[in-house]
């Protein structure tokens, strides 16, 4: 008879499909440790099944518009901060692509976003990033700058998409069919993927800015208007990456 330690290793190394066979194999093992393993891994499989159902529901828009061809999700990060660029992501995912735990970037931990960032880029048919600088935001306003970043992101895709799924907006200057989806980053898998790429790209950039200008604390607040950020802004004045049109109430 195998020891509980050996059986535990079997479960740990088994794939999803192999677990069912292990459940049957050890169903009659009367040891409490083995029964505990079966319960533990049954719960794991149930959670995995629930996650896959959630992801399948998030593919509904992609399935609906697949008749157009390649479907691209678009989202942005950084419309609200006082400093730094606005960044847009655009992602075309393969049909039935599985990226476990992919969701609206705001619903994910920083660690999870970093993990998903690499997986999205690895599995995507194509992905692109666009960016508008603080100076550009001041020049043409944040909405127009966001559209500009989105157009850049779409333009970076190879192959090019045939239809766009956008988080709530319709992007001017793009001739492709567009589908604005309210709270799309929580409803569409490709928009969620775009939101992760945009968020991680921007956050990494703000961490780099923090190394050059540590007095503002950009690594902590990413340019958003936290109390510590506003205090630093009043103390040190605006940096080269602050949006002048956003900080009039503080400087």
Do the Cβ atoms of 165 and 154 come closer than 8 Å?
no
- Averaged pLDDT, 76-98: 97
Distance CA 245, CA 251 (A): 11
- Averaged pLDDT, 39-48: 91
- Averaged pLDDT, 179-184: 96
What is the structure's pLDDT at 251? 82
Mean pLDDT of the chain: 95
Tokens of 35: 């029964």
Q: Is the pLDDT of residue 96 over 90?
A: no
Distance CA 75, CA 171 (A): 11
Percent of the chain with pLDDT over 70: 100
Residue 142's Cα: distance from chain center in Å?
A: 21
What is the structure's pLDDT at 95? 92
Three-state SS string over 6-65 comes to HHHHHHHHCCHHHHHHHHHHCCCCCCHHHHHHHHHHHHHHHHHHHHHHHHHHCCHHHHHC
What is the structure's pLDDT at 228? 97
Q: Is 233 helix (H, G, I), strand (E, B) or coil?
A: helix
Distance CA 85, CA 191 (A): 20
What is the structure's pLDDT at 15? 85
Q: Is the pLDDT of residue 20 over 90?
A: no
Q: What is the pTM of this model?
A: 0.90
Q: Is the pLDDT of residue 178 over 90?
A: yes
Which domains does the chain carry? 4-57 (no CATH), 69-202 (3.30.420.10)
Nearest to 134 by CA among 83, 172, 171, 87: 83
φ/ψ of 165, rounded to 5, equals -105, 115
Residue 30 binned pLDDT confidence (cut-offs 50, 70, 90): confident
CA dihedral 148, 149, 155, 160 (to 10 degrees): -110
What is the structure's pLDDT at 129? 98
Residue 87 pairs in a beta bridge with 77, 131
């Amino acid at each position: 008879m195998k020891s509980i330690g050996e059986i535990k290793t079997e479960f740990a190394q088994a794939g999803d499909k192999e677990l069912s066979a292990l459940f049957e194999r050890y169903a009659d093992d009367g040891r409490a440790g083995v029964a505990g393993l079966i319960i533990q891994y049954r719960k794991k499989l149930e959670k995995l099944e629930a996650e896959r159902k959630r992801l399948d529901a998030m593919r509904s828009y992609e399935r609906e518009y697949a008749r157009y061809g390649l479907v691209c999700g678009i989202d942005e990060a950084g419309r609200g901060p006082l400093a730094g660029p606005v960044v847009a992501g655009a992602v075309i995912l393969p049909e039935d692509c599985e990226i476990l735990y992919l969701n609206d970037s705001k619903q994910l931990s920083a660690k999870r976003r970093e993990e998903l960032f690499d997986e999205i880029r690895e599995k995507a048919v194509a992905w692109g990033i666009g960016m508008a600088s603080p100076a550009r935001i001041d020049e043409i306003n944040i909405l127009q700058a966001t559209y500009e970043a989105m157009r850049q992101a779409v333009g970076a895709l190879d192959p090019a998409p045939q239809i766009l799924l956008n988080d709530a907006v319709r992007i001017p200057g793009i001739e492709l069919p567009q589908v604005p989806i309210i709270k799309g980053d929580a409803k569409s898998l490709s928009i969620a993927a775009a939101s992760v790429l945009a968020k991680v790209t921007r956050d990494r950039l703000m961490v780099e800015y923090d190394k050059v200008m540590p007095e503002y604390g950009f690594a902590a607040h990413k340019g958003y208007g936290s109390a510590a950020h506003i205090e630093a802004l009043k103390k040190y004045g605006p940096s080269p990456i602050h949006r002048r049109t956003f900080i009039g109430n503080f400087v």
